[in-house]
Amino acid sequence: MLLINNQIVGKILDIRGCMEALETGYRDLINERAVYRGRYDLFVPNDDPKLMYRWGTMEGASRTFETFAIRMKSDMLEWPEGKTVEKYCVEPGTFCGFVMVFSTRNGEPLAIINDGILQHMRVGGCAGLGAKYLAREDSSVVGIFGSGGMARTYLLAFNAVRKLREVKVFSPTRKNREAYAAEMSEKLGIKVRPVDSTEDAARGSDIVATCTDSIQVVVDDPVLIEPGMHLTCVKSNEWNPEIVKRSDLVAKMGRATKNLDEGQIRIGGEAAVVAGNAEEITRIANPKVDIFSRDFPLLTDIMSGKLKGRTDKNQVTFFANSGTQGLQFASTAGYVVREAKRRGLGQQIPTDWFLQDIRD
C-alpha cells in the first residue's frame, strides 16, 4: 500500500493528465461503468459559537481505473463577518483531508493520498471540461474572480483547451491579485493582469470564472454578461440566479442529492446533518443563493452527443461545476496510484496493517 503526499501528487498530476483521467471516468459513467455518491457533510457545533466542526465525505468508482475512492476531510469552520468561509484543522494554516483508494478487483487497499493538490486539480479539470464542450472555439480572453488555488487550476485548465492570449484577475486584496498575475503570467507565457473591479474582469472576456471562498454573490449585475460568453463557478452562491436563468445553455457536472432523508438539510448546495438544535443550526452561514440544487442538463449528456451543446457563437453558456465529486476522486486518484506505482513513487506501508482475520 502507498502513502502519497502532496509533493508526490504534484510530480505526477499535471492539468492535462488530470483532465484525461476525469474524461475517462466520465466516459465510464456514460457507459454505465462508473458510479458516485455526492458530497455529504456532518456538522457538530462548538462551545465557541463562532466555530463549527465539519466532517465531509464523497466517494465513487471507475471500472477503467479499477478503483474505488473515498475522500474525507476534517475542518473547523468560521465565517468572518458572514462574508467568507475560513477553515483549518488543529490550528489556522493546517488542514486535514485525504483520499483512500481501493482495488475493485480484489478489495485491496491501494493508497492513502493527501487531498490538497488533488482537490484543486479535479475541480479545475472539470471546469476545463466545461469550457472544452461549451465555450466558443475562439475564446481567448479570460476573466477570473479569485486568486487562490482554484483560480490557478481553473486557468491552467482553460489554457489547456483554448488558445488564450489575455487574462484579467480580480480579487479584493490587491497584493493577492498582483501575486497571482505575476505567477500565472510567468507559468503560462501569456498576459495576466490584475484589475480593480468585477466589471473590469468581466467586460470583454470570453470565459468568466468565479473561484472564490465567498458565501455571498460575486457577480450580481446581468448587464456584465455579453453575447458569446462562457460562465462558470466553484460555489453555488457566486452568481446571481438571474444571470443563470438568462443564459442560453446551462449544464451541470452532476446532480445534487435531491430527496433529503429525515434530519438532513441542504447547506451550500450539499446534503448535510447537524448534531445540534435549531439555534445551533442557525450559526452555520448558509448561502442564500443555491444554483446547484436546481435541475440542469448534464455535461455528460453533451459529451455523449445525447444533448446538443453550444450551437451559436452568440449563445451565453453557463457551467455549474458541481456533482459527481466522488467519481472525480476515483478517477484522478486512480490515475495517481497507477503512475506512482509505475514510477516507483510514494512511501510503502504494509498492506497487512489494514487487513484482519475477523469477519465483520
Cα pseudo-dihedral 228, 230, 236, 242, rounded to 10:
0
Look at domain 119-257+286-320 and name its CATH class. alpha beta
**Quick one: pLDDT at residue 257?**
63
From the list 229, 224, 225, 256, the residue with the least C-alpha distance to 320 is 256
**Quick one: pLDDT at residue 117?**
97
Is the CATH number 3.40.50.10470 carried by domain 2-118+325-352? Answer: no
**Mean pLDDT across the chain, nearest whole number?**
95
3-state SS assignment for residue 103: strand
Whether residue 240 contacts residue 223, with contact meaning beta carbons closer than 8 Å, is answered with: no
Buried/exposed 14-39: b ≥16 CB within 10 Å, e otherwise: ebebbbebbbbbbbbbbeeebbbbbb
Instruction: Work out the percent of the chain whose per-residue pLDDT is above 70.
Output: 99
Region 53-62: what's the mean pLDDT? Answer: 97
**pLDDT tens digits for 114-124?**
999 999 999 99
List CB contacts of 280: < 8 A, sequence separation 6 or more: 45, 274
Within 108-221, residue ranges assigned H as helices are 116-134, 149-161, 174-188, 198-202
Domain boundary assignment for the chain: 2-118+325-352, 119-257+286-320
**pLDDT tens digits for 69-120?**
999 999 999 999 888 899 999 999 999 999 999 999 999 999 999 999 999 9
Bridge-partner residues for 143, per DSSP? Answer: 168, 208
List CB contacts of 357: < 8 A, sequence separation 6 or more: none
**pLDDT tier, 38 (very low <50, low <70, confident <90, very high otherwise):** confident
**pLDDT tier, 248 (very low <50, low <70, confident <90, very high otherwise):** very high
Within 10 A of 174 (CB to CB), how many other CB atoms are there?
10
Q: 22 to each of 97, 101, 127, 188, 300, how far by Cα in Å?
A: 20, 16, 11, 22, 11
